[in-house]
């Protein structure tokens, strides 16, 4: 289950990694994805069974919408930037972009928390495993994205934006 939940974080990290990997970016994205993946199942258990059916229906739409919005923003920044401004574009591992990406990749973990709470399963151990797996998979994804970026050069960040848009659409379509 932890691996399956980490796949969303991994996929998004590949897209973000195309913009380059620094120690700070790697730490910020991995830490936040792992933290949110750890906290969301706990939150899911706390919110309880009554809310789970309502969130379950709109969760993929929220996650998909957030990913599409961030991907479109990345592409828009590329289109409107002049070559000299390319390095000063917004970093998706900072600020609200980071928070939104963290939420989008962890909504499934919230729903898992609802399910585990309904089953009466203890949540701390599964939440730790989910968080650690997401952290590791995010780091691997960022490095993979950076490797892809070296191969496609200046188109790398656009490729990352397209990945986020496609993931967002996939979140909604897989209903």
Query: Which range in 3-7, 23-27, 84-88, 114-118 is most confidently predicted, on average pLDDT?
Result: 23-27
Cα(136)–Cα(13) distance, integer angstroms: 11
Determine the average pLDDT of the residues in 53-60.
Answer: 63
Q: What is the pTM of this model?
A: 0.72
Q: Is 50 exceeded by the pLDDT of residue 102? A: yes
Lowest mean pLDDT among 88-102, 109-123, 138-152: 109-123
Determine the average pLDDT of the residues in 75-85.
Answer: 64
Domain boundaries, the chain: 2-173
Cα(156)–Cα(147) distance, integer angstroms: 10
How would DSSP label each residue in the chain? Answer: -HHHHHHHHHHHHHHHHTT---HHHHHHHHHHHHHHHHHHHHHHHHH-HHHHHHHHHHHHHHHHHHHHHHHHHHHHHHHH--GGGGGGSPPTTSHHHHHHHHHHHHHHHHHHHHHHHHHT---HHHHHHHHHHHHHHHHHHHHHHHHHHHHHGGGHHHHHHHHHHHHHHHHHHT-
């Amino acid at each position: 289950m932890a691996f399956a939940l980490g796949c969303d974080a991994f996929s998004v990290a590949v897209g973000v990694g195309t913009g380059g990997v620094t120690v700070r970016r790697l730490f910020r994205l991995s830490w936040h994805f792992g933290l949110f993946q750890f906290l969301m199942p706990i939150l899911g258990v706390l919110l309880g069974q009554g809310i789970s059916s309502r969130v379950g229906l709109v969760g993929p739409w929220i996650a998909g919408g957030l990913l599409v919005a961030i991907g479109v923003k990345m592409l828009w920044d590329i289109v409107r930037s002049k070559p000299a401004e390319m390095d000063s574009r917004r970093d998706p591992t900072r600020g609200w972009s980071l928070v939104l990406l963290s939420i989008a990749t962890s909504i499934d973990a919230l729903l898992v928390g609802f399910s585990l709470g309904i089953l009466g399963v203890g949540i701390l151990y599964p939440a730790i495993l989910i968080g650690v797996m997401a952290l590791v998979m995010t780091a691997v994804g960022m490095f993979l994205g950076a490797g892809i970026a070296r191969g496609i050069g200046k188109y790398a960040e656009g490729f990352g934006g397209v990945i986020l848009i496609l993931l967002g659409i996939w979140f909604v379509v897989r209903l």
